[in-house]
Amino acid sequence: MSGVASLNLPVEFFPMAAGDLDAVAALEAQLQAFPWTRGNFADSLQAGHSVWVVRIGGELVGFSVVMAVLDEAHLLNIGIAPRHQGLGFGARLLRNAMECARLGGANKMFLEVRPSNARAVELYQHFGFRRIGLRKGYYPALGGREDALIFDKDLR
């Protein structure tokens, strides 16, 4: 299914289940040069993180992982299938993650993002996230390590 064709299909959000792990790990492997493993996602489920999938016409096309700590939330991972990017599905998934965190008692959300991921940086800034710091050498990269931009957003 092409991304444009998916615009006419129902978009549904579900809590991630163990049966989604293989599909989510496969999608993550398409998105990242250094992807989370199936075990990383399983650990997030086991830890009770807010872990969601988005389906379009029944097909799993995205996921988000948010860890809550007291009144704060940390967006650990989020992704949309490449053919569905740029069509607003990532924005809907991010909005869902923020709303679930807020309803769960979080007043603030934090995240890290690669400076080279301009599309994600733009999305976060569009949603009112503000850059508050830098983590040097945070991400593995083909040429060694890449820094992470730290963002936060007030959810109240």
Known catalytic residues? Answer: 112, 124
C-alpha separations of 41 from 15, 33, 81, 103 in Å = 12, 17, 17, 22
Helix (H) or strand (E) holding 15, with range, is strand 11-15
With beta carbons less than 8 A apart as the criterion, state whether 24 and 41 touch: yes
3-state secondary structure 137-155: EEEEECCEEEEEEEEEEEC
Which amino acid is present at 151?
F
Which candidate, 44, 117, 131, places its Cα nearest to that of 52?
A: 44
Distance separating alpha carbons of residues 51 and 32, to the nearest angstrom: 18
